[in-house]
Amino acid sequence: MHCTKCGADLGETSGFCARCGVPKGARGAATAPQTATGIQSNIAGLLCYLAGFITGIFFLVADPYKQDRFVRFHAFQAIFLSVAWFAVYFALGVFLTILPGMLWRLGWLLHSGMSFVFFCLWVFLMFKAYNNEQFKLPVIGDLAAKQA
């Protein structure tokens, strides 16, 4: 959860924001902070994943969002996930081209399975961002947290 006054991450055990001192339950302090354009940080974090690296880059350079660590984390994670997704698809494409004809169906099944896994991961990350959570993927999430 994030403080509506300063945007800091609120801990689960603390009753107040560590940065500005606003009580956790006061005036919606447990909800996502609203930016100047009226879009809350959790909605902006969700939108970072919508078109992969395109929306990720947009939210990194757009003025009200580039200072928000929550949005920056999700933007970087969306960019890194898009790059990983492309790399996996490229590797699978090369693998499919060198497969003999009778093993091609197995490769196609593997390709379809990976598509389903990436789609489920994409929806899961959008859901987590909407719920004001910074879910870190094993390698990509740590890189995104360092960049944010």
pTM to 2 decimal places: 0.68
d(CA 102, CA 55): 40
pLDDT at 144: 86
Q: Give the residues of the chain that fall short of pLDDT 70.
A: 1-2, 4-7, 12-15, 21-22, 24-38
Note the pLDDT tens digit of each residue in 119-148.
Answer: 999 999 999 999 988 888 888 888 888 887
How confident is the model at residue 7, as a pLDDT? 67
Return the residue matching tokens 């924001």.
17
- Report pLDDT for 127: 93
C-alpha pair distances (Å), 118 with each of 40, 54, 86, 90? 26, 17, 11, 14
pLDDT of residue 55: 86
Give how far Cα 57 sits from Cα of 66, 72, 100, 103, 147, Å.
10, 9, 40, 39, 13
Sorted by sequence, the CB contacts under 8 Å of residue 12 that are 6+ apart come out as: none
Domain ranges of the chain: 1-31, 38-147
Paired with 34 in beta bridges are 40
